[in-house]
Each structure stands twice: as C-alpha cells, then as structure tokens.
Amino acid sequence: MCQKLLLNSSHFCIIKLINNIMMIKQPHSLFQRIFKHPISTILTGTLTVILVTLLVKEFISKPILSSLFSDEPLIKSITAIIGASVMFLAYYLHLKYLEKKSFSEFSFKYIQKELPTGLMIGFGAMGMVVFILYLLGYYNFVGIKSLYEFLPTVAFIFGAAVLEEIIFRGLIFRKLEQCKGPITALMVSSLIFQIPHFMNSHTGILPGILGVLFGVVTGLMYAYTRRLWLPIGFHFAWNLVQPIFITTLSGGKFISLFEAQLEGPELLIGSEFGLEVSLFSFVILLIIGIYYYSKLRNRSYFKIN
C-alpha cells in the first residue's frame, strides 16, 4: 500500500514538473525579436499601406475606370477616393494580423465629432490667413474657375492627408510613444514627417520649420483623441484651403478654384512654397499647438513615461 502511494505521488510530481516547464515562457528567436521590434513594425506597416494602395491603383482601379470613363477629372477623383479607402483597409489588416491590435484609431463612434472638428480648425486657420491678407490688400479675388475640374485636387489632397496621418501618427508616433515616451515621439516623428517634404520644390529653412511644427500639432491632436479622425480632418482642410485660393501647395502647383492675385511682402504672403509659410500661418498653427499641449498637460500626459 505504501509502495503504491509512493508511486502515485512520484507520478503526480513528474506531471506537475512537466506542466511547470511547459508554462515557462520560452525566449523569442532572433527573427521574432527583430520582427517585433518597433522599427520593424513601423517599416512593415508603412510598406503594407503604400504597396497595397499602389497595387490596387495601378492594376485594378485605374485600368477599370479608364475603360469605363473617358472623363479625366472623374477618373482621377474616383481613383483617389478608392486609394484612400484602400489605405484604411491596409492599415486595418496590419493592425489585426501583424500587431494583433484593435482598429481603435478609426473608431466610427467618434467620426461624426472629431472629423468635422478637424475640418473646422483647418479651414478656420488657413481661411483666417487668407482673410487677413485680403484685409491688408495683399489678396485680390479675380474670378472663380471650374468646380468640376477642381474635384481631383480635393480627392488627391484627402488621400495624401490620410496616407501621411496613418504613417506618421498612426505608425511612427504611436510606436515611438510606446517605447520612448511622448516628448521623444513628438519630436522624432515630426522631424521624420518633414524629411520627404524636403524633396518638394521651393523648400528651405522656413518650410522645414513649418513642417516640423505641423507634425507636432497633428501629433498632439492624435495624442489628445487617441484616434486619427481629428488630425486627418485638420491636415486635409489646412492643405485644401491653399489651392482653393491660390495654385501653390507645399511647393507644388495645383488647379485652384479661385483666380486671384497675391502680392506683398514674402514674410506675410508666404513664398513660392505656399501660404503656409506666411508669418500668420506660423502664429495660428502655434496657437493651435499650444491649445492641445495645454489640454494634454492638464491630463498629465507628459508625465506618463
């Protein structure tokens, strides 16, 4: 009887030992550690969004639309809208299958509040710049052009805003914030955000400073809401106001909605890079940034890490 009890006891101990060994968390392989590194996650997410969008555009939407329609503005508009939709989908797939994370950045529960808020701030900010220049006599309205031909510009700018906010705020800022804290995330993601813009025409020191400041402001907006609706709305509206009133945006030439004359000191009216490097643009953008910074500071956000 004693021998049988001893045997059962030994058997129980062996099973318990095996279970304990199985429960020990095995170290990740070198490949797993590299793949799960924040930099790898950022690069994977960026490539996923960009490549999927390009593939759909070049091999699906553009060929199909070109075979169905002959109207160039219509084709460009629909292609840009499809591209923005594909960006949402690609980002969703990245979060779900690679990061194993919810799609909280695009929660539809908050879209009706945060997207219109971003649009109002963006339109109000750049609209105020144009209004001030008009009052000073530097901006003179001449006439209105074709709204229909302006639609591709609207669609393109929306797609660009979605892409940049997904990459620079949804991926880069978010991952840096997790591992390095909010201050580092704001500064590094904003500097990275400006780097591609140095390839634009008529760039320089002032456009570079403006780009970094813009990145900080949209980063603060994302940190405040933890979603991308607000910065996307702001980014889209800020950019759209410029080709509405003039032809230049970030050094590029677009079809504008209004025909106008803009003459005055470069410090006030901006350079060939655009209205966004006007002194008025800097001041208004800085005020917006201070507002969201103070909101986050009241939440003790900058003391988290």
Does the residue 12 lie in any domain? no
**Cα 64 from Cα 69, distance rounded (Å):** 9
The pLDDT mean for the chain works out to 87
91 within 8 A of 170, measured Cβ to Cβ = yes
Kindly tell me if the per-residue pLDDT of 44 is higher than 70.
Answer: yes
Does the residue 82 lie in any domain? no
Does the residue 219 lie in any domain? yes
Residue-wise pLDDT tens digits, 60-99: 998 999 999 888 889 989 999 999 999 999 999 999 998 8
Of 188, 170, 196, the residue nearest 250 (C-alpha): 196
Does the residue 16 lie in any domain? no
Residue-wise pLDDT tens digits, 12-21: 444 454 444 3
Alpha-carbon distance values, 124 to 115, 130, 131, 222, 241 (Å): 14, 10, 10, 19, 9
Does the residue 241 lie in any domain? yes
- Beta-sheet pairing, 258-262 with 139-144: antiparallel
**Cα 172 from Cα 184, distance rounded (Å):** 11
Does the residue 63 lie in any domain? no
Residue 29 pLDDT grade (very low, low, confident, very high; cuts 50, 70, 90): low
Q: How many domains does the chain have?
A: 1
Quote the distance between the C-alpha of residue 215 and its chain's center: 9
**Cα 74 from Cα 86, distance rounded (Å):** 18
Residue 33 pLDDT grade (very low, low, confident, very high; cuts 50, 70, 90): low
Of 150, 163, 227, the residue nearest 193 (C-alpha): 163
Residue-wise pLDDT tens digits, 225-275: 999 999 999 999 999 999 999 878 888 888 889 988 899 999 999 888 989
Q: Domain range spanning residue 165?
A: 107-303
Kindly tell me if the per-residue pLDDT of 217 is higher than 90.
Answer: yes
Does the residue 96 lie in any domain? no
**Cα 111 from Cα 194, distance rounded (Å):** 27
Residue 223 pLDDT grade (very low, low, confident, very high; cuts 50, 70, 90): very high
Does the residue 200 lie in any domain? yes
**Cα 224 from Cα 301, distance rounded (Å):** 9
**Cα 11 from Cα 18, distance rounded (Å):** 11
Please name the residues in contact with 105: beta carbons below 8 A apart, sequence gap of 6 or more.
91, 95, 170, 174, 226, 227, 228
Task: For residue 47, give both structure tokens.
Answer: 């490539």
Compare 28 and 133 and report the one with higher pLDDT.
133
Residue 295 pLDDT grade (very low, low, confident, very high; cuts 50, 70, 90): very high
